[in-house]
Chains A and B, each alone.
Chain A
């Protein structure tokens, strides 16, 4: 079946440093979504990427979808303590309807 992988599993950064998490799917995706989950909270939608090579920005967050639509990345510039949480990618399979497979997540810690 489809697998979605993320690296790194954990990342500890000093406040102000940049952070990147990478997401890879074993199969081509129709689209990919990114979610943030704060400790003890529920996943919160951040963005959806649909087009090959698409790049979207949300303030300090930059999301990219690979040309082959099998990988994606999330980059945070100048991290803040409010960025703490686990970042999940979720890939929707090609032509399989609305079934998202979540990656294992990258847990980000930001040290003040």
Chain B
């Protein structure tokens, strides 16, 4: 099972500020996802990223969002100008083929609080 860490675990920011959330898979992965989960609600797909390019993105993933793989291992999700409604848990997930299943391993998440 691939191990995924995310930093920071909790980020508090002022509205309008930029935040960068990081995802670090222990082993080398080319494919990853970002999801958002507003407190008490469902997990929402944001973007999938494969081999340094966006593979697919949802309507939520507007111009305020961007993803990068800055150093070949970390994956980042940047929100340029945060809004109150961006407050949520942000999970990255790494897909892995195991026993015929395309399961996704979620990181522990970053809780973003926008004040």
List the interface of chain A (C-beta within 8 A of B): 1, 31, 33, 35, 41-45, 47-48, 50, 88, 90, 92, 96-105
Contact = CB atoms under 8 A, between A and B. Distances in A.
Interface SS of chain B: strand
Interface of B: 31, 33, 35, 41-45, 48, 55-56, 58-59, 91, 93, 95, 100-109
A45 B33 CA distance: 15
A42 B106 contact: yes
Contact of B41 (A1, A31, A90, A104): A104
B103 A45 contact: yes
Given A42-B107, A42-B108, A97-B55, A104 B102 contact: no
B34 to A, nearest CB: 12
Contact of A88 (B42, B48, B102): B42
A102 B45 contact: yes
Given A42-B91, A42-B108, A99 B45 contact: yes
B56 A33 contact: no
A56 B109 CA distance: 29
A98 B44 contact: no
B106 A101 contact: no
